[in-house]
Chains A and B, each alone.
Chain A
Amino acid sequence: MDLFTFLSSSVMVLVVFTIVLTLVPISVYLERRVSAVIQDRLGPNRVGLPLTLFGAKKDFHLFGLFQPAADGIKLFLKEDHTPAHVNKFYFILAPALVMVPALLSAAVIPFGSTMDMPFFEGRQVQLAVANVDIGPLLIFAIASLTVYGIVIAGWASNSRYPFLGGVRSSAQMISYEICLGLSIIPVLLYFGDLNLGRIADQQSRDGWLLLPIAFGGDGPVVDWRTLLLLPTLLIAFIIFTVSLFAETNRAPFDLPECETELVSGYHTEYSSMKFALFFMGEYAAMVVGSALIVTLFFGGWALPFGLDNLIRDPATGAFPWWASLMHMGVFLTKVIGFIVFFIWVRWTVPRFRYDQLMKLGWVVFFELALANILLAAILIAIFG
């Protein structure tokens, strides 16, 4: 590894870390504002720049965009109370175990296209921390560690509600991990690749997976092979999305923290920054999940209809630096759009009963995913 690769990777680590950690407060803000407009309310719209403190005539409200900062300061200043009856070591370990996997799995997601570096002739940089050949597998492997954080939190709290929440979440997350993994096999069969960078790149050439129309490329505008596979890919998308809802403990599958039954589930005994870590971990998991869905099904950083073919360097397949930064913006827009979808669903669908949740996972999605794999494999074998 030469110095350039080392430096560019380090910068990428910082960038990805910043992006994910910035998207978390943005999604908290969106959660509050979107839920408000859905319920005919306004939501937090006051917290902005307090210019009147510095002698100005008017405050600058900024649509309340500084609300998450105020929330963060509040959580930071709260008393960090550790109850006497908890198992201290695991009690402190658990919030970190929820937060870390969510941040780690962001490493393999391509946040933008391959960039021709300015000032460094002939150098190219991947806008991902680790462009490894096992992208989705790595994400699943790391994301499954989240369940330890929640179970340990429930166990170490040494009280009933957190314990019930922990038990529920372990059963739920393990069940839905199966559907999550099985559901994207048709997609991986279609791409024939596990490298998320190349998956996104292919979608920028041939159009998005769920919108397979591409102008300006080498191939035809509409790929009939993809159109034939589209129903199976659509089923894969639905199963994957719903399983992701369950995997990230979002409504309508937020049974582990189900406040009507369990106070607030596994983080009942937590306060201050330890609670904030759970909170941020949940939202970071949602951000990474949205990023994965976008990368697999909605072209990642790619513009729709293969528009990227017009600006691509035909020899190397890389993009000029401005295009790469634009791709990053496109990717973030899509991710935020998906986060809004997550929130929209949360404020629409009532929570599932636990047996309904298990039935949906094991009886409906598991079989459907298996049948879908078979169907996709046969179709690819015949027409592929």
Chain B
Amino acid sequence: MAYIKIKRPRLGLFEKLYLPALIKGLRITLGHAISTLRGKKRETMQYPEEKWDDNMPEHYRGAPALVTDEQGRERCVACQLCEFICPPRAITILPEEIPTEDKWAKVEKRPRKFEIDMIRCIYCGLCEEVCPEQAIFLRKDYAITGLTREDMVHDKEKLYEIGGVRTGLVNKWNELK
């Protein structure tokens, strides 16, 4: 082992006395206190009055949701890829065949039940990434609350309500999310 000699900075008399440095420090904290009191600087967001909504970063990953396309067709084809990739196994899908008299019979499959347990969800975004049909997206909803465990499970209806309509080909790298 070689020795490495670290050169310590030489302290001047003022620094050795400690008191001037202390006063300097007190001045800095006082400056912060004054600027906070005058309302110039403030890190705290007063939650119920001010919300994240306006300050949400572009890449924010919130609640996952299903979307319909411009013709009102649900994009999900119940391939169950998201169910399989979901690390905390929050997604439960029950697929069903689309009956032949239906307008979208050629799509063949759709989910009868699509549930995401928001207690389990870790907002990793793998479901969005794996979806071949661009049917599931992570939205910016973050205030997901409920009084019971059942409340916290988002069913299909709720997922479409959050997701809304998506028109055209929506790629993950598109501006709109």
Report which A residues bind B (CB closer than 8 A). 34, 36-42, 238, 344-345, 347-349
Kindly state the separation between the CA atoms of A39 and B29 in the bound complex, as whole angstroms. 8
- Chain-A contact segment, one of B37-45, B75-83, B93-101, B156-164: B37-45
For A345, the chain B residues whose CB sits under 8 A away are 26
How far apart are the CA atoms of A10 and B36 in the complex, in Å?
44
Does B132 have its Cβ within 8 Å of any Cβ on chain A? no
Nearest chain B residue, comparing its CB with the CB of A45: B46
Contact B36 A37 (CB under 8 A): yes
Contact of B29 among A42, A238, A344 (CB under 8 A): A344
User: How many residues from B make CB contacts under 8 Å with A?
Assistant: 17
A40 to B31, CA, bound (A): 10
Residues of B within 8 A of A (CB): 19, 22, 25-26, 28-30, 32-33, 35-37, 41-44, 46
Q: Considering only CB atoms, which chain A residue lies closest to B24 in the complex? A: A348
Bound-state CA distance A42–B46 (Å) is: 9
Q: Is the CB of B26 within 8 A of A348?
A: yes
| Contact among B19, B33, B46 with A38 in the assembled complex (CB-CB below 8 Å) | B33
A345 to B35, CA, bound (A): 18
Given the known A-B contacts A34-B33, A37-B33, are A348 and B46 also in contact in the complex, defined by CB atoms under 8 Å?
A: no
Please give the distance in Å from B13's CB to the nearest CB on chain A. Answer: 15
Residues on the A chain within 8 Å of B46, using CB: 42
Supply 16 A–B pairs (Cβ within 8 Å), ascending by A: A34-B33, A37-B32, A38-B29, A38-B33, A39-B32, A40-B32, A40-B35, A40-B41, A40-B43, A42-B42, A42-B46, A344-B29, A345-B26, A347-B29, A348-B26, A349-B25
Q: Is the CB of B37 within 8 A of A37?
A: yes
Contact pick for A349, options B22, B37, B43, CB 8 Å: B22
Smallest CB–CB gap between A328 and chain B, Å? 28
Q: Which of B19, B26, B35, B43 lies in contact with A344, CB distance below 8 A?
A: B26
Q: Are A344 and B30 in contact (CB under 8 A)?
A: yes
Bound complex: CA of A223 vs CA of B19, how far in Å? 28
Q: How far is the CB of B31 from chain A (nearest CB, A)?
A: 9
Instruction: Give the complex CA separation of A38 and B34 in angstroms.
Output: 8
Chain A positions within 8 Å of B32 at CB level: 37-40
Q: Once the chains bind, are A40 and B30 in contact (CB under 8 Å)?
A: no
Cα separation A42 to B39 with both chains bound (whole Å): 10
